[in-house]
Chain A
Amino acid sequence: MRLLLIEDEEKVSRFIVKGLAAERFAVDVAADGDRGLELAQTYSYDLIILDLMLPGLSGTEVLRLVRGQNEHVPVLVLTARDAINDKVEHFEIGADDYLTKPFAFAELLVRVKALLRRGAVSRANTLRVADLEIDRLTQQVRRGGQRIDLTGKEYALLEYLMTNAGRVLSRTMIIEHVWDQSFDGATNIVDVYVRHLRNKIDEPFERKLIRTVRGVGYAIGEEAL
């Protein structure tokens, strides 16, 4: 998988490249719009991560020109502006996803992976982490063969954690996925639900599956990261 990152802030591109490289992506970096467009038109990338505020050619123009030539390459837009008008405008030009700075790297990673497997996702009906198993059709949860009853929100939270097993999910990501943006920032609703979920799926068992990653969020998995 080869990605193109068009981002003028050197430090931002450095940690993105580092993080993506750790996930075995090959990343090319362009520090301005003109260079970015040149690369995008020369090579065939699987995904483009595009910052909007660029010296030279602006991100919006790059997006328009890239779309004019290649309709299929997924483009993830990064921006420090998040006025909803902006968002709508860029989706219309052809952005596939939109991430507002500052973001957690985990969020970027989840979105990148989602964009890459879009279209060819095999959504398995059964998700499994260690001896924990959920059936997405019946929404049944079993651990060690033992059935566990969850409320709707608890199930949604667990399913989200398990589809991203082994990956840390930030509170913001969990809130936006399981609830909606209105809950962001104000409440500790994620922590409360995670605690309740733990009481049901981890408390009775010796091996704990849900982990708290301080300052980042929660993850489910067999091993510590």
Chain B
Amino acid sequence: MNTRSIRFRLTVWYAGLLAGMLVLFGASVYLGLSHYLEWTLKETLSQQAKQIGESWLGEVGVSGESYVAEEINEHFSPKVNGRFVRITRGDGSVMYLSDEPESKRFDPSRVPTLNAQTDRESLREEHLTADSELMIFAMPFTAKDNGRYVIEVGASNQEIERVLHGLLFAIAIGLPVVVAMAIAGGYLLMRRALRPVDEITQSAERITSRNLGERLPVAETGDEIERLSVGLNRMIARLDESFQHVNRFSADASHELRTPLTILRGELEAAAQQGQITPELRETLGSALEETERLSRIVESLMAISRLDAGEARVELAHFDLAELTSGTTEQMRLLAEDKDIALRCESEQQVRVEGDRARLKQVIVNLVDNAIKYTPAGGLVGVKVSASNGRAVIEVNDNGVGIPPEALPHIFERFYRVDKARSRQMGGAGLGLSIIKAIVTAHGGQVKVESVEGKGSRFLVELPVAGKTSE
């Protein structure tokens, strides 16, 4: 999983936000509920204390203390309800104390006594044992006969604890489940939302300078993705236009150069044919003619490259054996190698069928082998090999010549690029040979690769798609 993808990051972000918000929400529910429960218990306790005072203890002088105790037992049945009730006289003696509840949660007799002289209502918690806590509301009361009492009503807050524990448990289980569901759902939703982006990416990867006429798919959803693909398409259209502009320019320029070159050449030849010129002038005219020819060659090459770039190259498509073409061509160039005392070896045992323009691909082989011979010193070795693997036909031309410096390697297929300016000009090149090779190979749906170690030699690989077996 790509942890830097928008999908992943967005999912993590909102899952984190959701978890944080749920924790905050849970905490506030927990605190609110615990406050509410405590408040409710306190209200109940204080009401019960007031009821004890007003209903029965006020008349204690008339009805007697045992009557009060009976009424309390009858109305509140502290034994059953787990209530703690204690009435203390003004002198500190206990008038009434509830029995131990059936649940045995606390022992009423062990609840510490309060200062009987208090004149304020109070709420306190008593820890009797480790797991038992009592909340006790105490209220001073003056009976009608002016006797002073303190009424205490208490209850175990274990109920509150249980409810709160239950809530905590529900939150602890529920929160991860909800967050996990949100992550899964969100991830799927993001995937759906971002699928058009993936499609746009894949289409965009396919578009190169050679198929700028193609466009990205536009889903007419009216959303940001549609705007993105429309925007990208406009950009591709502008690129297409400027590419065509450049191509047209170089085609037009080389075209326009042809007529003056024709005239120049014709006039120079006519002048050189005249009998009465001096040898010096003949030499000068010859030199001018050589340069005219070189100029013509550059114009030809530029024209060829711009036509190849414009996709006009594969006009004479044929199925043929690349191995046979390569070995035949290499054989024709053997004398060039022998002339420089270079060993030229060609290995191509099995047939490698390709579909393409035979003359153009032959030009590729001629250029590569010629380059290898040019840049390999006497006594060197030039090897040519044709093979097929993984649906690719490969022509390999290697030599143990001067090689290419690493800083020049990325540029050697650029037009007019020369590795060693003085040297290659002396060899008559214009820096267009490799550009032509690349343009031809690209027009055939293949690619050219080069590996080289300066001083050790170079290895050029031309990869072409193998022709389908059925069409052989």
Q: Which of A106, A188, A193, A214 contacts B286 (CB 8 A)?
A: A214
Chain B residues with CB under 8 A of A121 = none
B366 touches A183 (CB 8 A): yes
The segment out of A14-22, A38-46, A56-64 that lies at the interface is A14-22
The yes or no answer to B410 lying at the interface (CB within 8 A) is: no
- A83–B366 contact, CB under 8 A? no
Question: Contact at B433–A180, with CB atoms within 8 Å?
Answer: no
Beta-carbon nearest neighbor of B361 in chain A: A182
Contacting A101 at CB < 8 Å: which of B262, B315, B336?
B262
Tell me whether A179 and B267 are in contact (CB under 8 A): no
Give the secondary structure class of B's interface. Answer: helix
Contacts of A101 in B (CB 8 A): 258-259, 261-262
Question: What CA separation (Å) do A22 and B271 show in the bound complex?
Answer: 13
Q: Check A18/B270 contact, CB under 8 A, given A180-B359, A215-B293.
A: yes
CB nearest to A172 among chain B residues: B293
Of chain B, the residue at the smallest CB distance from A16 is: B266
| Contact, CB under 8 Å: A216 / B433 | no
Least CB distance, B311 to chain A, in whole angstroms:
12
Q: Does A122 contact B (CB under 8 A)?
A: no
* CB-based closest 10 A-B pairs: A215-B289, A214-B286, A15-B266, A215-B286, A102-B261, A182-B362, A102-B262, A80-B258, A182-B363, A101-B262
29 A-B contacts, Cβ less than 8 Å apart?
A9-B262, A9-B263, A11-B263, A11-B266, A11-B267, A19-B270, A19-B273, A22-B273, A80-B259, A83-B307, A85-B312, A102-B261, A102-B299, A103-B262, A104-B269, A105-B265, A153-B332, A182-B329, A182-B365, A182-B366, A187-B336, A189-B336, A192-B335, A192-B336, A195-B339, A196-B335, A215-B290, A215-B292, A216-B272
Known pairs A19-B269, A188-B336, A225-B273 / 5 extra A-B pairs, C-beta < 8 Å: A11-B263, A15-B266, A105-B270, A192-B335, A215-B293
Give the A-binding residues of B (Cβ under 8 A): 255, 258-259, 261-270, 272-273, 282-283, 285-290, 292-293, 296-297, 299-301, 303, 307, 312, 315-316, 329, 332-333, 335-336, 339, 359-360, 362-363, 365-367, 370, 428, 433
* Chain A residues packing against B (C-beta within 8 Å): 9, 11-12, 15-16, 18-19, 22, 80-85, 100-106, 153, 179-183, 185-189, 192-193, 195-196, 213-216, 225
